[in-house]
Chain A
Amino acid sequence: MYVYDQFDHALVRERNAEFSDQVARRLSGELSEDQFKPLRLMNGLYLQLHAYMLRIAIPYGVLSSVQMRKFAHIARTYDRDFGHFTTRQNLQFNWIKLADTPKILEELAEVEMHAMQTSGNCIRNTTTDQFSGAAKDELDDPRPWAELIRQWSTIHPEFTFLPRKFKIAITGATKDRAAIRVHDIGLHLTPKGFEVYVGGGMGRTPHLGHLIKSGVPGEKLLSYLEACLRVYNRYGRRDNIYKARIKILVSALGPDEYARQVEEEWNTLDQAAIDAPYYEIDRIRSFFPDPAFADKAFDQAALDRAKAADPAFARWVRNNTHPHKRDDHVSVTISTKPVGLPPGDASSAQMDVMADVADSFAYSELRVAHDQNIILPHVAKADLYDLYQQLDRVNLSTANAKKISDIIACPGLDYCTLANARSIPLSQEISKRFADADLTDEIGELEIKISGCINACGHHHVGHIGILGVDKQGIEFYQILLGGRADEKAALGVITGKGLPAEAVPAAIERVVRLYLQLRTSPAERFIDVVERLGRETFAEALHEPA
């Protein structure tokens, strides 16, 4: 993974010193809250319902065991012994003291991490495929390009005060696991260069990104992105926060006209002054080699015996491993979603175990997926049972990846000042209703995504079943959306039926799922396939209690 050079170290050190001074001045009263708020937000520090929340950037979701262990230490020392992995592949601590933040940032800097650009109207952490560099279906590794974008966009003077926040996602595989069509800019890395999708996003006004250019060569990526950002920065709606995202501009201009303006801008830019020279791209690439894969003797018969002796292990192998580019390895999904617990949360003890197993079995590397799970990208098949047993001791062996209980949920009204309704308790109740692992397996792939407000941090627009919490005169109600998906066939879900009170939602979901089981033509036909074949209205009636 990328290693800081002297410039990275100096930048983070200077930024921390600056913020430390700002914190001291706020505590002394020299700075007012109005003056301090934008400064703390630029350093990832929010004031939420119960306490300060610190959001830490995990660049493109890639994490070393040393960094994970540091998170555990911070959770134990400065927080209430846990952290929350987010849909932006970042980590949030929910119970931080203001005076502790300089020390926490200092500790993060020791392991080459920071909290810059995790808030504010700037280019946020670039996200990518959690299996990058490992997946069997990958065409090219997106991580060097994500790192290039990180370096270009960090404290970019022109793009620090955009009309609104700006999110870029990259995938380099045939299957889109990075949800590129619902990002401000989505990049699909192909052998012929980048396909550039612009104007996607969720929130109040969801849009799918439009393909505005194909074949952008890697060595021209930064100047093309700069042109995209310049047109947005010039014409984005600064007068109306609800219309300030690039999706609104692209929609208003039309994708063709926006693309034309970008092309025109691109041709006027001094591209050579912006684009990284080939040797710099090669230098960044050199930080992402394959690990020194261990040639461990893999005994298929031994694995089969372990699976036969331990059905829970067999289920975990079936559900939580992903094909690797090497036949003797897999990628492993560590589910942060045991039945009835908050999605994305991990205790310090669990973080320590994840760091330990990464050292023992995964070349010291981990990833945070946008579905809030943790990934070990490279695991020798020979080590699977040992790994599983260690995870199982700390409740990290739930075999539900991509299943109905693998729910994405934003923090919702239990933590977030913006939320209208609670998300986590609803996800807990749904996962309890589908606690039967055999039933979960029978249902197959089904993605539920829950947001506690229209800002859509829980990605409800692209859930096979999306759930949006709304405030109806002081009472929490939940709208159900059907038919969304964030993959290479991205589609936005549509609100189906009337809003439901929280206590009615799990049963409504179960009725929909039971109907799906009746309607599918084979177990291979997933829920989303049936919704697309028969139409979402087929399920509308099932959402409501029979009269």
Chain B
Amino acid sequence: MKLLTANRLTDGLVLWYADGQWVEDAAIATHLEDAAGEALKAEWAARETEVVAPYLIPVTDDGTPVQRELVREFVRANGPTIGQTTFDTAKQFKRDEVFQ
């Protein structure tokens, strides 16, 4: 399974693909079968006025990115881990941190 992620062109914010649209909250990202993920990545790579550099993240059975991607994607999904709560994506969405 994979997650599809990118940055939005206009403001660079981290986006996650969820049920046919892009959202800022990783907690609701769609888990994609490998082939479907590849097809969506190719489709969105061509739509450059919307997102920049979409890529797939392999996830384990519990939906967490595989170990080699984990820290980076944890930071992308939850915001900088430097204690400045105004940047904390998890708090913004009133949820626990994802990808623990």
Q: Does B69 contact A (CB under 8 A)?
A: yes
Q: Which residues of B contact A33 (CB under 8 A)?
A: 48, 52-53
Q: Is the pair A51, B71 in contact by a Cβ cutoff of 8 Å?
A: no
Give bound CA distance, A52 to B12, whole Å.
5
With A47-B7, A47-B52, A474-B70 as given contacts, are A428 and B82 in contact (CB-CB < 8 Å)? yes
A342: contacting residue among B7, B10, B75, B82, CB under 8 A = B82
Q: Which residues of B contact A47 (CB under 8 A)?
A: 7, 12, 52-53
Q: Is the pair A98, B71 in contact by a Cβ cutoff of 8 Å?
A: no
Closest CB in chain A relative to B75 CB, distance in Å? 6
Q: Is the pair B11, A98 in contact by a Cβ cutoff of 8 Å?
A: yes
Q: Does B83 contact A (CB under 8 A)?
A: yes
Closest CB in chain A relative to B59 CB, distance in Å? 13
B residues sitting closer than 8 Å to A (CB atoms) are: 7, 9-14, 48-49, 52-53, 66-72, 75-76, 79-84, 86-87
Interface size on A, residues (CB 8 A): 35
Give bound CA distance, A32 to B46, whole Å.
10
Q: List 17 A-B contacts (CB under 8 A).
A: A27-B49, A29-B49, A33-B52, A47-B53, A49-B75, A50-B12, A50-B80, A98-B11, A340-B83, A342-B82, A342-B84, A413-B71, A414-B75, A414-B81, A428-B83, A473-B67, A475-B67
Give bound CA distance, A27 to B10, whole Å.
7
Q: Does A424 contact B (CB under 8 A)?
A: yes
Q: Is the pair B10, A97 in contact by a Cβ cutoff of 8 Å?
A: yes
Closest CB in chain A relative to B82 CB, distance in Å? 5
**Interface residues in A341-364 (C-beta closer than 8 Å to B):** 341-342
Q: Does A80 contact B (CB under 8 A)?
A: yes
Q: Does A99 contact B (CB under 8 A)?
A: yes
Q: Is the pair B87, A425 in contact by a Cβ cutoff of 8 Å?
A: no
Give bound CA distance, A81 to B84, whole Å.
12
Q: Which residues of A contact B7 (CB under 8 A)?
A: 47, 51
Q: Is the pair A474, B71 in contact by a Cβ cutoff of 8 Å?
A: yes
Q: Is the pair B14, A49 in contact by a Cβ cutoff of 8 Å?
A: yes
Of chain B, the residue at the smallest CB distance from A53 is B12
Q: Is the pair B81, A28 in contact by a Cβ cutoff of 8 Å?
A: no
**Interface residues in A70-93 (C-beta closer than 8 Å to B):** 80-81
Q: Does A114 contact B (CB under 8 A)?
A: no
B9: contacting residue among A98, A422, A471, CB under 8 A = A98
**Interface residues in A416-468 (C-beta closer than 8 Å to B):** 421-422, 424-425, 428
Q: Which residues of B contact A26 (CB under 8 A)?
A: 9
Give 3 closest A-B pairs by Cβ, nearest first.
A474-B67, A474-B68, A414-B80
Q: Which residues of A contact B53 (CB under 8 A)?
A: 33, 47
Give bound CA distance, A471 to B75, whole Å.
15
With A33-B52, A33-B53, A50-B79 as given contacts, are A422 and B10 in contact (CB-CB < 8 Å)? no
Mask for A22-63, Cβ within 8 A of B = 1, else 0? 000011110011000000000000011111100000000000
Q: Is the pair B68, A414 in contact by a Cβ cutoff of 8 Å?
A: no
Of chain B, the residue at the smallest CB distance from A415 is B80
B71: contacting residue among A32, A48, A97, A422, CB under 8 A = A422
Give bound CA distance, A97 to B12, whole Å.
7
Give bound CA distance, A425 to B82, whole Å.
6
* 7 more A-B residue pairs beyond the given contacts A80-B87, A414-B82, with a C-beta to C-beta distance below 8 A: A50-B80, A50-B87, A81-B86, A97-B11, A98-B10, A413-B71, A422-B71
Closest CB in chain A relative to B50 CB, distance in Å? 10
B76: contacting residue among A50, A99, A421, CB under 8 A = A50
Of chain A, the residue at the smallest CB distance from B76 is A49
Give bound CA distance, A49 to B82, whole Å.
14
Give bound CA distance, A515 to B52, whole Å.
51
